[in-house]
Structure 1
Amino acid sequence: MTWNNFVAMGDSFTEGMDDSYPDGSYRGWADLVAARLALDAGPEFGYANLAVRGKVLNEVLTEQVGPALGMRPSLVSFAAGGNDILRRKVDPYGLVHKIDPAVEQFRAAGADVILFRFADVTAHLPGQRIVGPRAAALNDGARELAQRHGAILIDLFADDAFRNPLLWSVDRLHLSEAGHRRVAAHVLNALGVGVAEDWLLVPPMPAPSPWLLARGADLRWAGQHFAPWLKRRLAGASSGDLVQAKRPELGPIEAIA
């Protein structure tokens, strides 16, 4: 099947952090998918990416769904809720309930919808006992929504390769270049589109660090990444407060094989 456009919605996962172009802007799995789809669809193919880092689900729903529907997309991706489950108080089942009508709207408009079961990031972060059950509920909800609405489910949680820390960036929360390429490969395979085999390649698993070195790395990570994140949360701020969507309107993207 060939789609004439693709609209991506969500947060940092879809914006493309931390997979950078040479100019320092973010690429990510959605750009890679769009560029591959454009190869089959031709020069008229349009791509928009409305995702902005730090957005919680309510912001994605209120700020991105309307503009996306207005573009009359033939293919959309919806990935949100990850920032919500990191908050102190959240009802993950309530998140799924809010996502349901958005998916229904896109399906009623004739769009194919991509949903995700997110990869397990809890092994790399503090608070696994709190975040883990929330993430599981959100993932289970995505599967139920996909079944109910006939959406395309990308099950990253089932891919054990994402346990490799080299598929994650130094902040332990966002994907690395290799991680984004693997997500793109999963999406393209689910869409029935050919993809280069090297997109699925995984770097060799690094050897375990000695306990003392690992604790030192944890402390450095806490100072460089966790502390600033916590400071923003306490101040009611977001990393995306001054960030605009990188591709707010449908436009061409250079095709890649």
Structure 2
Amino acid sequence: MGYERFVVVGDSCAEGLDDPYPDGSRYRGWADLVASRLAVDTPGLRYANLAVRGRRLEQIITEQLPTAVRLRPDLAVLFGGGNDILSGGFDPATVSRRMDTAIRTLTEAAPTVLVFTLGDFSARLRLARRLLPRIATLNAAVHRSALAHGAHVVDLWPDPAAHDLRYFGRDRLHLSAHGHRRLAGHVLATLGVPFDRRWSELLPGEPVRPGWRDQAEWLYREVLPVAVTRFRNRIVGRSPGDGFRPKRPELEPWPAGMLQESV
């Protein structure tokens, strides 16, 4: 089956952080890679990416879903919930309800909907072991709502790549180019679309795991600045994604083969 209108909603992982194009002008990410492959089978495929970094489920529902519904996609993909897990006011019932609202809204608008669970990023972020129950809550909500509304689940929880730092950027939270290729492979496999199997192969050699010196450098370089920024934003009432716009706010044609040589 070919897809003609592909719409993505979500947060920074759907936007494409940390996988910049070679010229550094914008982020690529798994969604652009999927669009590239789908356009091979459907020349003239139109693709919109409404995702904005830092967005929580409530913001995705109010800011992105109305546009996604208006665009009448035949394939819609949601990657969200990670920022809810990282938020101070996490409430399991509220997050589960919002995930259900998002999935139900998309399945009412599109015949094919994909949604992601999260992998165990607490294993990479040593200060985040307390987040495991939150990840479990979100993943359970994804499975439950997907089953209820007929969405397909891209289940990242069992993926061993979650424990290999080569699949992640400097902050150990966002995916690297390797991680986004692997995620694109998961999406295409779920859709039953053939793709370059190298995207799904685990990287050769032993997984990279940080030592104590790496941990200390990461805390100083990545965690402390983010904590300070979040504290300042909380004081002035700002959200992490304020001021950013979706990289593809409307359905636009995606030329077949555009990314083939760059990936």
The normalised TM-score by structure 1 is: 0.93
Counterpart residue type for residue 121 of structure 1: F
SS at match of 1:83: helix
Counterpart residue type for residue 47 of structure 2: Y
* 1:254 shift after superposition: 2.7
Contact persistence 1:9–1:77 (CA under 8 A): yes
- Report whether the alignment pairs 1:34 with 2:31: no
**Could you report, residue by residue, the CA deviation over 1:231-253 in whole angstroms, capped at 9, with x for unpaired residues?**
12212244422211100010012
- Alpha carbons of structure 1 residues 73 and 208: separation in structure 2 relative to 1, 3 Å: closer
Where do residues 95-106 of structure 1 align in structure 2 (5 Å cutoff)?
95-106=95-106
- Alpha carbons of structure 1 residues 22 and 239: separation in structure 2 relative to 1, 3 Å: farther
Residue-pair matches, total: 252
Which deviates more, 142-151 or 98-107? Answer: 98-107
Q: Which runs of 4+ in 1 moved over 6 A?
A: none
Contact persistence 1:93–1:141 (CA under 8 A): no
* 1:94 shift after superposition: 1.7
Match of 1:217 among 210, 214, 228: 214
- Alpha carbons of structure 1 residues 131 and 207: separation in structure 2 relative to 1, 3 Å: closer
- Alpha carbons of structure 1 residues 65 and 207: separation in structure 2 relative to 1, 3 Å: closer
**Could you report, residue by residue, the CA deviation over 1:34-61 in whole angstroms, capped at 9, with x for unpaired residues?**
1111111112x11000111111111111
Where do residues 1-257 of structure 1 align in structure 2 (5 Å cutoff)?
1-24=1-24, 25-43=26-44, 45-203=45-203, 204-206=205-207, 214-235=211-232, 236=234, 237-256=238-257
Equivalent-residue separation in structure 1 for 2:125 and 2:190 (angstroms)? 29
- Alpha carbons of structure 1 residues 208 and 12: separation in structure 2 relative to 1, 3 Å: closer
* 1:7 shift after superposition: 0.5
Unaligned runs of 5+ in 1: none
Equivalent-residue separation in structure 2 for 1:206 and 1:140 (angstroms)? 28
Counterpart residue type for residue 248 of structure 2: R
* 1:93 shift after superposition: 3.3
Question: Aligned-residue CA RMSD in angstroms?
Answer: 1.6
The normalised TM-score by structure 2 is: 0.91
**Could you report, residue by residue, the CA deviation over 1:65-97 in whole angstroms, capped at 9, with x for unpaired residues?**
001101011111112110111122201332121
Counterpart residue type for residue 241 of structure 1: D
* 1:129 shift after superposition: 3.1
Equivalent-residue separation in structure 2 for 1:78 and 1:53 (angstroms)? 13
Identity %: 42
Contact persistence 1:165–1:205 (CA under 8 A): no
SS at match of 2:82: coil
Which deviates more, 25-34 or 99-108? Answer: 99-108
- Alpha carbons of structure 1 residues 20 and 208: separation in structure 2 relative to 1, 3 Å: closer
